[in-house]
A = this chain, B = another copy of it.
């Protein structure tokens, strides 16, 4: 290859078109001819460069998830572990809030990135790429959230740290996974302006309360918090 992507950017155009289509319609409902048409290249180009539709799909996931932490960190939604351990209570709460805001922006914001749709599809129909997605995204996301939770509620048992982290992430991710039902119920075409900001604030507040109660609850006192 003379340049990183041929001369006319065929490889790049193929990846871009395939990313969009796989995110929009999923693997099965996307055809090689759809991809070639949207990329503006010949049908045979896909197989020339990527061998097969499946390999192209795996390339797409690889490329998308390779850049996600850069995006997250650039917007302040991710911080090194050592930094988190140095934060005070108010800063931790602020980090949680920012993190939720960034996550929601990426998932359902006015310009959502493709990770959300692709991940949702992988959770519905897992492929060979699932291990990569777990190790490259889900696992780091969980670990970092657990670290924030552990700092905010130091008395929690490890299993409760994990459960609280799952509760936090679950609340946020829900707005992507349930989006069609949610929007239809509200009669909306898309989430309104400022929606992610308000939901991030709600989830942060709700979760701080949840952590406080779980942290104060002893075994058998499940219904505490009255």
Binding site for B on A (CB under 8 A): 25-26, 28-29, 89-90, 93-94, 97, 119-126, 130-131, 133-134, 138-139, 142, 160, 163-164, 166-167, 169-175, 177-181, 184-185, 199, 201-214, 217, 222-226
A126, closest chain B residue (CB): B180
Please give me the 3 A-B residue pairs with the lowest Cβ-Cβ distance, nearest first. A209-B213, A170-B174, A206-B210
Q: A92 to nearest B CB, angstroms?
A: 10
A-B contact pairs, 24 of them (CB 8 A): A28-B28, A120-B177, A121-B124, A123-B180, A124-B124, A130-B180, A130-B184, A133-B181, A134-B184, A139-B185, A160-B202, A166-B174, A169-B174, A170-B175, A173-B174, A173-B177, A177-B177, A205-B217, A205-B224, A208-B224, A208-B225, A209-B212, A209-B214, A209-B225
What does DSSP make chain A's interface, helix, strand, loop or mixed? helix
Number of this chain's copies in the complex: 2
Say whether B178 contacts A123, CB under 8 Å: yes
From B93, B185, B214, B225, A212 is in contact (CB under 8 Å) with B225
Say whether B201 contacts A205, CB under 8 Å: no
Return chain B residues, CB-CB under 8 Å to A125. 25-26, 29
CA of A43 to CA of B25, assembled, Å: 27
Return chain B residues, CB-CB under 8 Å to A160. 202
Say whether A206 contacts B213, CB under 8 Å: yes
Give me 19 other A-B pairs in contact (C-beta within 8 A), A177-B177, A206-B211 excluded.
A26-B28, A28-B28, A89-B226, A93-B226, A97-B222, A120-B124, A138-B181, A138-B185, A163-B199, A167-B203, A170-B173, A170-B174, A171-B171, A173-B177, A177-B178, A204-B223, A205-B225, A209-B209, A210-B213
